[in-house]
Amino acid sequence: MAAPPLVTLREALVTFGGRPVFQDIAVGLGRGERVCLVGRNGGGKSTLLKALAGIVALDAGERFCQPGARIAYMPQEPVFAPGQNAGDFMARSLSAIAGEAPHHRVEAALDEAGIAPDRILAELSGGEARRVTLAAALGGDPDILLLDEPTNHLDIAAVEALEERLGAHTAGLLIISHDRAFLKRLSRRTLWLDRGRLREHDRGYEDFEAWSEAVLEIEAAERARADKRIESETLWLRQGISARRRRNQGRLRRLYYMRAERAQRQSLRLATLGTVEAKSGGRIVAELENVAKEFPGESEPKTILDGFSTRIVRGDRIGIIGANGVGKSTLLGIITGSQAPDSGVVRHGTNLEIAFFDQRRAILDPELTLWQTLAGGGDTVLVQGQQRHVTSYLKDFLFDDSQFRARVSTLSGGERNRLLLAQVLARPSNLLVLDEPTNDLDIETLDLLEEVLSDYDGTLLLVSHDRDFLDRLVTSVIAMEGDGVVDEYVGGYSDYLRQRSPRTTKPSPKPAARPAAPPLPSPVRGQRLSWKEKRELEDLPPRIAALEAEKSVLEKSLADPDMYARDRSSFEKASARLGVAVAELASAEERWLLLAERAEKAGTA
């Protein structure tokens, strides 16, 4: 039984510039609940969170909060007072939540954040600012936690630690996040803010795609029955969600083949490195041989790389992971040639055309419009060598007509990331370098970005803390563990977790070189299917085909504008069955993909 709500909104309406951000919203949150809030960037998710926190006033409706309930809100982009230090901020934040801020609690929260009390907040990095605001939200022992993109700027270890902390917390939890792995682990209920309307599902984010697809299929059928034109936004959503699994099946199969090829080349490279001289042209993008790099430290040098070797060829998709400050940007610089190593050999291929995505978004001019950013004073933009009208290209990145002439300064963080991606991906390139591209993006935009990158013909270097995104895209992972320990693992992040071995010793000091690693286990190895699973794998394709045929027949029937008036009972049965068929089809497709992947792995074991 759900806990009684401690904070609720009833018939809530918020407008911006006379236009409703959302209306007729009814939602409540009780202690111990685990809820995620999803929806498109700019759709009002952050505003809804602020309304629940009591920060944004409602234009209509009411907000109720149980007397004495402690509500903690963490904003997506914290704004600190000029000159404010961490100790003062923490004391004020804890007092706002708990009504008091004992000195020991302030110290404990700052210690958890790893920030000294005299640090000036304006000088903190993005990750440090995020740790401070999270510690402030958690340190007041709240009954309700409202978290807006809590994983932004956090490395994977910090995200996993946060998952553990939130999973053990007794407060009611409402999260906005683009990190699908984070949402799948923590959420037990899903709120979907879609075109100003709030939909609710009593299961976590893991079930979101199947549920949302069923909702949009039924909505499309109802619109067709009423002989109304389906809104372009709804059409994009429905097509995007319903086609995503079928598109992803082919892309994932291609990715598995690429990982297997990478494993074979990796084993060969490890066996022959140092005896074969790489050619500067051809397929080689970059080759690093026994590369070392360090920077001066307070007491001793900080080792970034210590005898690291790798070979990157055209078409590889390399994920780079590691804690904040471990040297990921330095490694990118060495691979792309913008930084030199202290020792070792770096070879680059010829005719490299590099496009770079910088998470700081420094190249965006806030005073320019979106139109000017992409097309200057013209009407077209050159996209990978092809002329595109700027409006069409902006729509590809989910901007609407009202935003084309708006200044960049009016965009949200996620919208700025979308614009920067549009600018970077338009440039002709054969080496695409993305440094934390997923920050602030909504899940729909992540799906769009995943599709674009999956179809990219060049080489991809991706720095990311998004585990699900890495699993879907990369052929290998370069893991920077610290103290110069850097290893490469074939596959995605999940493969890295399975393959890595715990490091208990620091690598040998220079000039002794680290010994060559043993051949990496191939990601194509797997457990063989049981007899029952083999039969299931054989039976699934005809079942999927039958469900697709049934879905098509139901959609055709429901599209008849006279069916409802002619036979209301049949219409309602068909509508209900369509929702079930869509969910069964999604489940069958996912089961087939899982079994087919395992069969493929077992076939090469």
Of 247-251, 273-277, 288-292, which gets the smallest average pLDDT? Answer: 273-277
Whole-number pLDDT of residue 543: 86
Whole-number pLDDT of residue 455: 81
The residue-averaged pLDDT of 216-241 equals 56
Q: Where are the domains of the chain?
A: 5-210, 254-353+429-499, 527-603
Residue 194 binned pLDDT confidence (cut-offs 50, 70, 90): confident
- The residue ranking higher by pLDDT, 218 or 273, is 218
What is the torsional sign of CA 333, 339, 345, 350? Answer: positive
CATH superfamily of 5-210: P-loop containing nucleotide triphosphate hydrolases (3.40.50.300)
Order of strands across the sheet with 71-74? 71-74, 144-148, 172-176, 34-38, 189-194, 197-201
Q: Which of 253-257, 280-284, 498-502 has the highest mean pLDDT?
A: 498-502
Between CA 563 and CA 570, with CA 564 as vertex, the angle to 5 degrees is 80
How many percent of the chain have pLDDT more than 70?
82
Q: Which residue has the tokens 């990750």?
A: 127
Instruction: Give the residue from 402, 367, 374 showing the smallest Cα distance to 389.
Output: 374
- Using the predicted structure, report yes or no on whether residue 277 has a pLDDT greater than 80: no
Order of strands across the sheet with 60-65? 19-30, 5-16, 60-65
* Stretch (H or E) spanning 344: strand 343-348
- Using the predicted structure, report yes or no on whether residue 541 has a pLDDT greater than 90: no
The Cα 56–Cα 208 span in angstroms is 28
CATH topology of domain 527-603: Helix Hairpins (1.10.287)
| Mean of the per-residue pLDDT values of the chain | 81
Instruction: Give the residue from 247, 260, 158, 180 showing the smallest Cα distance to 476.
Output: 260
Whole-number pLDDT of residue 218: 83
Cβ atoms of residues 449 and 424 within 8 Å: no
Helices (H), 187-231: 208-225
* Stretch (H or E) spanning 463: strand 459-463
Instruction: Give the residue from 395, 17, 37 showing the smallest Cα distance to 194.
Output: 37
Of 34-43, 186-195, 281-290, 557-566, which gets the smallest average pLDDT? Answer: 557-566
- The residue ranking higher by pLDDT, 225 or 505, is 225
Residue type for position 533: E
Whole-number pLDDT of residue 506: 41
pLDDT digits (tens, 9 = 90+) for 468-485: 899 889 999 999 998 899
- Using the predicted structure, report yes or no on whether residue 449 has a pLDDT greater than 70: yes
Residue 498 binned pLDDT confidence (cut-offs 50, 70, 90): confident
Q: Which regions of 370-508 does DSSP assign to beta strands (E)? A: 380-383, 386-389, 431-435, 459-463, 476-482, 485-490
- Using the predicted structure, report yes or no on whether residue 168 has a pLDDT greater than 50: yes
- Do the two domains 5-210 and 254-353+429-499 of this chain adopt the same fold? yes
pTM as predicted = 0.68
The Cα 172–Cα 133 span in angstroms is 18
- The residue ranking higher by pLDDT, 524 or 10, is 10
Whole-number pLDDT of residue 242: 47
The residue-averaged pLDDT of 147-168 equals 91
Matching CATH number, 254-353+429-499, of 3.40.50.920, 2.40.50.100, 3.30.420.40, 3.40.50.300: 3.40.50.300
Whole-number pLDDT of residue 362: 67
The residue-averaged pLDDT of 362-381 equals 87
- Using the predicted structure, report yes or no on whether residue 233 has a pLDDT greater than 50: no
Name the phi and psi angles at 302, rounded to 5.
Answer: -95, 115
The residue-averaged pLDDT of 559-569 equals 69
The Cα 67–Cα 52 span in angstroms is 14
- Using the predicted structure, report yes or no on whether residue 372 has a pLDDT greater than 50: yes
Name the phi and psi angles at 285, rounded to 5.
Answer: -95, -50
Instruction: Give the residue from 126, 87, 127, 130 showing the smallest Cα distance to 109.
Output: 87
Q: Which of 98-107, 180-189, 422-431, 591-600 has the highest mean pLDDT?
A: 180-189
Q: How does DSSP classify residue 369?
A: B
What is the torsional sign of CA 555, 560, 565, 570? Answer: negative
Residue 18 binned pLDDT confidence (cut-offs 50, 70, 90): confident
Residue 312 binned pLDDT confidence (cut-offs 50, 70, 90): very high
pLDDT digits (tens, 9 = 90+) for 389-407: 999 889 888 888 888 898 9
Instruction: Give the residue from 28, 36, 35 showing the smallest Cα distance to 52.
Output: 28
- The residue ranking higher by pLDDT, 466 or 360, is 466
Residue 32 corresponds to which tokens in the numbers above? 């111990």
Cβ-proximal residues to 99 (8 Å cutoff; 6+ apart), any chain: none
The residue-averaged pLDDT of 90-96 equals 92
Instruction: Give the residue from 159, 475, 482 showing the smallest Cα distance to 322.
Output: 482
Look at phi and psi of residue 455 and say left if phi exceeds 0, alpha if psi is from -120 to 50, else beta.
Answer: alpha
Cα dist from 402 to 16, 139, 146, 302, 410, whole Å: 14, 41, 30, 50, 12
- Using the predicted structure, report yes or no on whether residue 493 has a pLDDT greater than 50: yes
The residue-averaged pLDDT of 199-209 equals 92
Cβ atoms of residues 461 and 453 within 8 Å: no
Whole-number pLDDT of residue 148: 94
Whole-number pLDDT of residue 14: 93
Cβ atoms of residues 202 and 211 within 8 Å: no
Half-sphere exposure of 531 (CA within 13 A, CB side): 0
- Using the predicted structure, report yes or no on whether residue 54 has a pLDDT greater than 90: yes
The residue-averaged pLDDT of 344-366 equals 83
Residue 561 binned pLDDT confidence (cut-offs 50, 70, 90): low
Residue type for position 49: L
The residue-averaged pLDDT of 453-464 equals 88
Of 243-247, 358-362, 451-455, 575-579, which gets the smallest average pLDDT? Answer: 243-247
